[in-house]
């Protein structure tokens, strides 16, 4: 994973670290976005040549540096991390969305890009103490400014449960840059009183 592919998001993990988020005990299933104070953590994929990411031969496959931007070029959004501990069986739900956490279908909020779910998956974690599980999600995409369509497919795993291969097809995607965000929730037994921690170790965009 080339650190240059991480666009304006999660600077803390570029050196191999992790971002920790403690989920509320006795979660009611409400989606909690990664980030400080539960504010959205947004990954921006450049779709404007003037706002591209400089890449080298190891990423672009060419012998000279250039700018990467998403217009007409396939790319992958990748999310990975761990969750622990679990002291009662709980259902971990992960969601990858296109958007920036500002839900505004009317378009009246400046910069608002309403969230569109690209991938939503969950798995029941075995009851044990302590317990930890890892996960990863991928969305392989292509977008172009002529059609304004985002197409692709998703895959991944949570706690050895495979994420079903599913198609992505979204029309009228005109945000610049393309914003993606990751969220999670964990439903626990009400009596557990545990506060699990999700560690996000990767949230990035990469050329294919």
pLDDT tens readout for residues 39-49: 677 888 888 88
Q: List, for residues 91-143, the tens digit of each pLDDT value.
A: 888 888 888 766 544 444 445 566 788 888 888 887 766 667 889 999 999 99
The DSSP secondary structure of the chain, one letter per residue, reads --GGG--SS-GGGTTS--EEEEPPTT--S--EESSGGG---EEEEP-SGGG-EEE-HHHHSSSS-EEE--BT--EEEEEEEEEE--SS-EEEEEEEEES-S---TTS-STT----EEEEEEEEEEPP-SS--EEEEEEEEEEE-TTT--EEEEEEEEETTEEEEEEEEEE-----SSEEEEEEEEEE--TT-----EEEEEEEEEEE-
* 59 vs 69, residue with greater confidence: 69
Which of 2-6, 58-62, 97-101: highest mean pLDDT? 97-101
Count of domains forming the chain: 1
Write phi, then psi, for 11 (nearest 5 degrees).
Answer: -60, -30
Q: Model-level pTM?
A: 0.79
pLDDT (average), residues 8-12: 40
Q: Exposed, middle or buried: residue 75 (CB in 10 Å: 0-12, 13-18, 19+)? A: buried
Query: How far is CA 94 from each of CA 24, 81, 183, 199, rounded to the nearest angstrom?
Result: 15, 11, 6, 13
Report residue 165 CA to chain centroid gap.
Answer: 16
Q: Please tell me the distance from the alpha carbon of residue 7 to that of residue 189, in angstroms, as a whole number.
A: 38
Q: Kindly report which listed range (11-25, 32-46, 119-133, 190-204) carries the lowest average pLDDT score.
A: 11-25
For the cut 70, the answer to whether the pLDDT of residue 8 exceeds it is no
The total of other beta-carbon atoms located within 10 Å of residue 74's CB is 13
Residue-number span of the structural domain to which 187 is assigned:
3-207
Average pLDDT, the chain: 74
Report the pLDDT value the prediction gives residue 167, as an integer from 0 to 100.
94
27: nearest Cα among 204, 142, 186 = 186
């Amino acid at each position: 994973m080339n650190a240059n592919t991480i666009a304006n998001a999660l600077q803390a993990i570029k050196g191999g670290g992790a971002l920790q988020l403690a989920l509320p005990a006795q979660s009611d299933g409400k989606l909690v976005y990664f980030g400080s104070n539960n504010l959205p953590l947004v990954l921006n994929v450049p779709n404007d040549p003037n706002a591209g990411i400089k890449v080298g031969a190891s990423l672009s496959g060419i012998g000279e540096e250039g700018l990467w931007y998403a217009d007409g070029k396939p790319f992958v959004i990748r999310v990975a991390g761990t969750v622990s501990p679990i002291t009662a069986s709980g259902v971990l739900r992960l969601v990858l969305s296109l958007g920036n956490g500002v839900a505004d279908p009317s378009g009246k909020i400046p910069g608002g890009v309403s969230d569109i779910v690209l991938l939503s998956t969950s798995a029941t974690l075995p009851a044990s103490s302590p317990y930890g599980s890892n996960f990863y999600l991928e969305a392989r995409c292509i977008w172009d400014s002529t059609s304004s369509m985002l197409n692709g497919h998703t895959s991944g795993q949570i706690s050895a449960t495979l994420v079903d291969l599913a198609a992505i097809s979204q029309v009228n995607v005109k945000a610049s840059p393309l914003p993606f965000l990751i969220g999670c929730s964990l439903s626990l037994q009400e009596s557990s009183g545990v506060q699990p921690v999700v560690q996000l170790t990767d949230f990035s965009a990469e050329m294919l």
